[in-house]
Amino acid sequence: MFEELSIFMIAGTDTTSGLLQIMIYFLGENPHVWTKLREVVNQTIKSDADITYENLKNLHYIEWIQHESLRLGGPTLGMLLRKATKDHILKNIPIAKGTGLIINDLPNQCSEQYFKDPYEFRPERWE
């Protein structure tokens, strides 16, 4: 029981702290994004009474920063762990059902095939 609880706690806190670290890094490297974020928050939250679930839910710019930070910073765990659900052939390599896979998705996240100017931090691309 303790092992399961500790895995649950680490999975929740480690990934969250990793995301926050990546976001703070990119906000520090992109002061124009930080300035826009402050403007968006100040327009929505003018007093303590404005701190409501609905107002926080409508701060989409923060969500865009989160997505862009994860795209450029990579997954907070560094890799995706998956298990093949069926037999498959990937680039002439047979993968049997049940095979454990470790996937590095960073090459896709920084590919010009999927993102214009892939190494530029632009939260607006998630609009």
Q: How far apart (Å, rounded) are the C-alpha atoms in residues 108 and 71? A: 9
Which pLDDT belongs to residue 11?
66
What is the span of the domain harbouring residue 102? 2-126
Q: For 69-118, what is each residue's pLDDT tens digit? A: 999 987 666 677 889 999 999 899 999 999 999 888 778 888 899 999 99
Q: How many domains does the chain have?
A: 1
Per-residue pLDDT at 2 exceeds 90: no
- Whole-prediction pTM: 0.73
pLDDT in tens, 13-23: 777 888 899 99
